[in-house]
Amino acid sequence: MDLSLFDLDNTLLAGDSDFEWAQFLIEQGVFDAEVYSARNAAFYAQYRNGTLDINEFLEFQLRPLARHQRSELERWQALFVQTRIMPLVRAPALELVRQHQQSGALCAIVTATNSFVTAPIARLFDIAHLIATVPAQQDGRFTGAPRGLPAFREGKIARTESWLESLGLHWSSFSRVWFYSDSLNDLPLLNRVTHPVAVDPDETLAAHAKLHGWPILALHSAATDASC
């Protein structure tokens, strides 16, 4: 059996759900547009160039979850998925997931974006397993902090291993382990698996992929060879 892992933002999605969620909250009047648009753009630029402080970013990203009732958050979540995420779901990405599922692979999304934002997106791709940063909760409300290790950089390896252990599995349980990602931030996990694939990669990841002979897949334009 294979294990097939997929990054979400700019990999399965033709965009970044973290960035889109903050922009959505700005549109809803939750954030001050002038202040938070600039901060959101700055965090996104830091992520893209590999300098993001994940704890500082999570303080920015998870704070709104603690300030609002669950019913209001869930209403925003549904509207967000409909208006900001659905346009980012493309047929080639759905087909890639389908191919791995039909081959009998165990499939999971592995993303630094928090699970409140990403759980409904995983359902759009019909992927049952989500390894994501988890927002902490107390008495049924979000606290504004993460619970446990964020699923970011080396944290993706640790969180994936914990998930596999919960299933009674290990890396060695699989004949092949795939991981698809666009980002230099995912080099730790890409270097850990047997079949790394760069998807519409950033400049650093593209250079690394070419140096090491990894497949490069253009999911959101014309696909190249990275068959199962």
Q: Give the whole-angstrom CA distance, residue 80 versus residue 28.
A: 10
In the annotation, is 9 catalytic? yes
Q: Give the whole-angstrom CA distance, residue 135 versus residue 144.
A: 7
Q: Is the CB of residue 217 less than 8 Å from the CB of residue 206?
A: no
Q: Give the whole-angstrom CA distance, residue 80 versus residue 129.
A: 21
Q: Which two tokens stand for residue 40?
A: 């959101």
What letter does residue 50 receive in the DSSP assignment?
T
Q: Is the CB of residue 116 less than 8 Å from the CB of residue 73?
A: yes
Residue 97, H or E segment: helix 91-102
Active-site residue identified among 2, 9, 16, 186: 9
The 10 Å Cβ neighbour count of residue 152 is 22
SS3 226: coil
End-to-end CA distance of the chain: 12
Active-site residue identified among 2, 7, 18, 186: 7
In the annotation, is 2 catalytic? no
What residues are annotated to the active site?
7, 9
